[in-house]
Structure 1
Amino acid sequence: MIQCCFVIPIYNHHETIRATVEQLLRFDMPILIIDDGSDISTKYALTGLVNDYPLSVRLFNLPKNLGKGAAVMFGFHQAVTAGLTHALQIDADGQHNHDDIPTFLAAANNSPLALISGWPQYDESMPLSRKIGRQITHFWVHVETLSFKVKDTMCGFRVYPLEATLATMETKTIGRRMDFDIELMVRMYWRQTPIIFIKTPVIYPKGGRSHFRPLEDNWRITKMHTRLFFGMLLRSPALIARKLKRN
């Protein structure tokens, strides 16, 4: 049986964090919230949650905004320090479907060495710009992995096996912002971590707040894909041999 916690990175989502946490309490797992330099309204909301649920909620405050990836990686280290084997990453803004959590946990228990990832099923609330961006990233990920088995690398709804995850993080500096989810999954795939995808509905809440910065984050993701492409070239013989063996 795995020992799992929730890891929630948060940056200025005071409107949604209480509802998110209260839906997670029923799973009786530690909830690790990493405040990535949020505003005062969010800090008040987080303090209230810690006071109301001291046995379930642990709050960690980063000194300034370091990025989603940096917050999640900090949470992973805290989970390992607490003796846990897995961490379920979930967003603070209510975008992910909490009813699918039992399915994710069951898959992690059945395959404890695997990375369990959401395979988003979007509705009409998804902005066109984000849809195009995802299609571009999917193309490059198929190139970087020489595989169509990696269904989605941008969903932040995942159960990570912490031993394999930290081992991957130690081999290379992983992107600390919006490039984090993509790069970590590709590098875990390269290291032959099994990846299981589970279809899950994902919404863009009306009036939701996005921290995606088009110019800065798209440039960062472009640089990341460039690094991964050349990394693929170095690994291509092993990736091709692996593909042939599987076939």
Structure 2
Amino acid sequence: MSDFRPVVIIPSRNHGLTLGGVLEGLAPLKLPVIVVDDASDAESARELDRLAALHPEMTLLRHEVNRGKGGAFLTGLEHAVSEGYTHALQVDSDGQHDLADAPALLESARRHPGVLWSARPEYDESVPKKRLIGRYVTHVWVWIETLSFEIVDSMCGYRVYPVADTLAVIKSRPVGLFMDFDTEIMVRLYWRGLPVRFIRSRVIYPEGGRSNFRMWEDNVRISKMHARLFIESPLWWPARIRRLFRREPV
């Protein structure tokens, strides 16, 4: 598609030490990169400034106050649409994603631009077992909320969004902006008829890696998110059932 204009968006909070490796991994794509510094500490902020000076493809945006991973991504998305980009490859800044799979995600989005393409994580022994249990609980809730098993993983922040569709959903109804963002935006896009498709991708938890997941606060946010989605989900079930009977792709 001649009008397929992708950009990379990387929310970052205190991941100055790992972002350089992420940028190097993305370099073969030759794409513009928007990094949103979500109120990092002084050391990480200095490192992001240094990386911005080294990488001409990188645009650095900043939050003075922490707005969450979803809030940082939204800032990047608004900048992307102002620059005329049609699709946004979301990548985490902590080095967990296998960037060798980025070309496959982007090519799938180029061929099928009206689809939300996401990585489906394949974990090695480095993954904390508590994380796997928590992910499975969210999977079950998402299957209930969507009346479907098609969303096989809603928590991986490695995906290609159609920019216009995503902004339309966010502007129509506020979504969670912290660790609840990835799941909620995927469910709401699915409800509105945007197909969700997956590509398997390896995910690692680097030794000594820094996580921004706050066990108490983010679990509470995720629980509240599922409560919102469960209460609202019957409003979308008729459309889902109609698509099933019409054998429409969902």
TM-score interval, smaller chain: over 0.9
Q: SS of the residue aligned with 2:246?
A: helix
Query: How far apart in 1 are the matches of 2:210 and 2:247?
Result: 42
Alignment partners' CA distance in 1, 2:34 and 2:69: 14
Structure 1: distance between partners of 2:53 and 2:238: 54
Deviation of the 1:49 alpha carbon: 1.1
- Quote the offset at 1:41 in angstroms: 1.0
Q: AA paired with 1:47?
A: D
Distance 1:245 1:145 in 2: 17
C-alpha distance in structure 2 between counterparts of 1:243 and 1:149, whole Å: 12
The code of the aligned residue for 1:11 comes to R
Amino acid at match of 1:102: P
Provide the rounded CA distance (Å) in 2 between the counterparts of 1:97 and 1:244: 38
* Equivalent position amino acid for 1:68 in 2: K
Matched, 1:176 2:184: no
The Cα offsets for residues 75-118 of structure 1, whole Å up to 9 and x where unpaired, read as 00100111110110001111000100110111011101111101
- Is the deviation greater in 225-234 or in 185-194? 225-234
Which residue number in structure 2 is paired with residue 146 of structure 1?
147
Seq. identity, %: 46
Give, in whole Å, the separation in 2 of the partners of 1:203 and 1:245: 40
The whole-number CA distance in structure 2 between the counterparts of 1:206 and 1:104 is 26
Distance in 1 (alpha carbons) for counterparts of 2:240 and 2:228: 17
Match of 1:185 in 2: 186
Count of aligned residue pairs for this structure pair = 246
Distance in 1 (CA, whole Å) between partners of 2:197 and 2:136 is 20
Supply the AA of the counterpart residue of 1:118: A
The answer for the alignment partner of 2:54 in structure 1 is 52
Matches within 5 A, 1:81-230: 81-230=82-231
Alignment-mate amino acid for residue 92 of structure 2:
D
Q: Tell me the residue number matched to 1:78.
A: 79
Residue of structure 1 in register with 2:34 after alignment? 32
The gaps in structure 2 that reach 5 residues or longer are: none
Report what 1:5 is aligned to.
7
For residue 242 of structure 1, report the CA deviation from its aligned partner. 2.0
The C-alpha deviation readout for 1:4-46, integer Å capped at 9, x for no partner, is: 1110000001211111112212211101000000011111111
Deviation of the 1:132 alpha carbon:
0.6
Match of 2:247 in 1: 246
SS at match of 1:156: coil
RMSD of the TM alignment (CA)? 1.0
Aligned-partner Cα distance in 2 for 1:28–1:124: 32
Structure 1 residue runs of 5 or longer lacking an equivalent are none
TM (norm. structure 2) is 0.96
How far apart, in 1, do the equivalents of 2:235 and 2:116 lie?
24
Q: Which amino acid aligns with 1:17?
A: L
Q: CA deviation at 1:216?
A: 0.9
Distance 1:245 1:74 in 2: 37
Q: Which runs of 4+ in 1 moved over 4 A?
A: none
SS in 2 for 1:16: helix
Cα deviation for residue 244 of structure 1 reads 2.8
2-side partners of 1:34 and 1:229: how far apart? Answer: 31
Cα distance per residue 1:182-211 (max 9 Å; x no partner):
000000000001111111011111111111
1:31-83 CA-to-partner distances (Å, cap 9, x unmatched) read: 10000000111111111111112x30100011111100000011001001111
Q: Secondary structure at the match of 1:237?
A: helix
Report the TM-score, using the length of structure 1 for normalisation.
Answer: 0.97
